[in-house]
Amino acid sequence: MAIKVGMVSLGCSKNQVDAEIILAKLRERGYQIHTDSGTCDVVIVNTCGFIESAKQESIENILEFVTLKKEGRIKVICVTGCLAERYQEEMAKEIPEADVILGIGSNEEICDAIEKALAGEKVRRFGPKEALPLEGDRIVSNLPFFAYLKIAEGCDNRCTYCAIPMIRGRYRSREMDKIVAEAQHLANHGVTELNVVAQDTTRYGVDLYGKPMLPELLRRLARVENLHWIRVLYTYPDLITDELLDVMAQEEKVVKYLDIPLQHCDKQVLKEMNRRGDRESLTALMEKIRAKVPGIILRTTLITGFPGETEEQFETLCQFVQQIKFERLGCFPYSAEEGTPAGERKDQIDPEVRQRRADIIMELQMGIMEAYNQKLVGSDLEVVVEGYDRYASSYFGRSAADAPDIDGKIFFVSKKKLAVGQYLPVHVDDVLDYDLIGSAL
């Protein structure tokens, strides 16, 4: 009887792509992939190690499966992903019940490691980060009409608060032909929405081709048949060029949506984060983007309570948020990460202050979002169907203005039966918090 394998993948979309490549390798080896991890012989926890809350979530998930293993309900616990890579010795010491611990550079060895574990061996492998597979078959683990397309791995930006370069290594782009071939393969298998991801998508190609090649890549992806929406996430403000904005304005399939994690706007705070710019230059950039790509949705993420952030600097950030009126925004209290320059600083701000400042920003954003959504009432939006909510007796989906998993939804009624992945026009009738209410046309 085939061994049943389940996976819990935590953290970001880049980690999810790694998980999908792992699952395809296991299926190829003859393992049965199941969605209910608690009923499987083997459970893989693909961990996140980015910030403290993500680490805690990873550990809690592992410990849940340790309990199931002690009860005899599962045979093997396998830990992969960023937490395994970042805390190699600690993981082996603190969670001895984990049968397999693989760093990201040993993902290729997953099948052999599980076989050894089933035979009673403990496996601990940590290959070079550069050995992480960037290509390969995938089992897309979200709704079948959308997928994440990872175009690069690692990061060279060295922001002082961030552990990613330590965990994932130097920035390395994938070859463009291979990315386009993967996009075509996904489109041939029912994917109509691609979300382009990397730690910094705007740096794509610099290492391989000597210059940023995201605009060229997007033009080529726009030629892939059967794709409907192409969305760009995780861009870096310094590399948002006129050429990139021209592509976004000209290519119909490239949705008018740009995710730019700015983190802050105060010049001194940005400098101490090892990021460039200030309120004036970032304001000018946002204005330029909106002028060159009319109707664009701007998304950003911000950090409050970075070491040494004064009340005045925080107030500047609040004013910036109110001035720019980002259509989408997330704000997180600073998390002090071991091994990072910011984490070693002595002027750490009280965690309660960090959280209070983040709450204030999100309260401001709630008002901005409400005003933005109210303007949409009475308009018609193209929406992709994600499912049917039996309790609300309505379908739900997203417009091009909403990225999967992070932005809002539109709940709508329809006289016709609809299929998941179907695109259709929806009339906006009302607003509910961050979401819209409407009716299919």
Cβ-based neighbours of 6, under 8 Å, separated by 6 or more: 33, 34, 35, 36, 37, 38, 39, 40, 42, 43, 44
Give me the amino acid identity at 86. R
CA 180 to each of CA 1, 206, 222, 333, 431: distance values in angstroms, whole numbers, following the listed order: 38, 18, 10, 37, 38
CA 20 to chain centre: 14
Cβ(398)–Cβ(384) below 8 Å: yes
> What is the pLDDT, as a whole number, of residue 91?
84
Angle at 71 between CA 70 and CA 76, to 5 degrees: 55
Q: Which of 269, 341, 345, 271 is CA-nearest to residue 302? A: 269
**Domain 4-131 identical in fold to domain 146-375:** no
> What is the pLDDT, as a whole number, of residue 378?
96
For the four alpha carbons of 397, 401, 406 and 407, in that order, the dihedral sign comes to negative
String of DSSP letters for 102-116: E-GGGGGGHHHHHHH
Return d(Cα 167, Cα 180) in angstroms, integer.
Answer: 27
pTM above 0.75, yes or no: yes
How confident is residue 89, by pLDDT bands cut at 50, 70 and 90? confident
φ, ψ (nearest 5 deg) of residue 50: -75, -55
Return d(Cα 37, Cα 17) in angstroms, integer.
Answer: 18
Pick the CATH number of 146-375 from 3.40.50.800, 3.40.50.920, 3.50.30.30, 3.80.30.20: 3.80.30.20
Pick the CATH number of 377-440 from 2.70.98.10, 3.40.47.10, 2.30.30.110, 2.40.50.140: 2.40.50.140
Judged against a pLDDT cut of 90, whether residue 1 lies above it is answered with no
Return d(Cα 201, Cα 4) in angstroms, integer.
Answer: 36
Cβ-based neighbours of 344, under 8 Å, separated by 6 or more: none
Return d(Cα 15, Cα 277) in angstroms, integer.
Answer: 29
How confident is residue 67, by pLDDT bands cut at 50, 70 and 90? confident
Q: How many residues does the chain have?
A: 441
Judged against a pLDDT cut of 90, whether residue 36 lies above it is answered with no
Return d(Cα 250, Cα 242) in angstroms, integer.
Answer: 12
Q: Which helix (H) or strand (E) holds 437?
A: strand 435-440
String of DSSP letters for 233-292: -S--GGG--HHHHHHHHH-TTEEEEEE---B---HHHHHHTT----HHHHHHHHHHHHHH
440 vs 95, more confident: 440
Across all residues in the chain, what is the average pLDDT?
94
For the chain, helix (H) and strand (E) counts, in that order, are 14, 19
Q: What are the tens digits of pLDDT across the range 348-370?
A: 999 999 999 999 999 999 999 99
Cβ(34)–Cβ(4) below 8 Å: yes
Q: What are the tens digits of pLDDT across the range 280-324?
A: 999 999 999 999 999 999 999 999 999 999 999 999 999 999 999
Q: What are the tens digits of pLDDT across the range 10-25?
A: 888 999 999 999 999 9
Judged against a pLDDT cut of 90, whether residue 49 lies above it is answered with no
How confident is residue 198, by pLDDT bands cut at 50, 70 and 90? very high
Beta strands in 39-182 (DSSP E): 42-47, 76-81, 100-102, 123-125, 146-150, 152-153, 172-173
Return d(Cα 188, Cα 179) in angstroms, integer.
Answer: 14
Q: What are the tens digits of pLDDT across the range 155-189?
A: 999 999 999 999 999 999 999 999 999 999 999 99
Judged against a pLDDT cut of 80, whether residue 98 lies above it is answered with yes
> What is the pLDDT, as a whole number, of residue 59?
87
Q: Where are the domains of the chain?
A: 4-131, 146-375, 377-440
Q: 375-406 in b/e burial notation, b at 16+ Cβ within 10 A? A: ebeeeebebbbbeeeeeeebbbbbbbbbbbee
Query: Which residues are registered as beta bridge partners of 121?
Result: none
Judged against a pLDDT cut of 90, whether residue 62 lies above it is answered with no
Query: What share of the chain has pLDDT > 70, as a percent?
Result: 100
Q: Is the backbone of residue 98 left (phi > 0), alpha (psi -120 to 50) or beta? A: beta
Q: What are the tens digits of pLDDT across the range 233-288?
A: 999 999 999 999 999 999 999 999 999 999 999 999 999 999 999 999 999 999 99
Q: Which CATH class is domain 4-131?
A: alpha beta
Judged against a pLDDT cut of 90, whether residue 58 lies above it is answered with no
How confident is residue 80, by pLDDT bands cut at 50, 70 and 90? very high
φ, ψ (nearest 5 deg) of residue 23: -60, -40
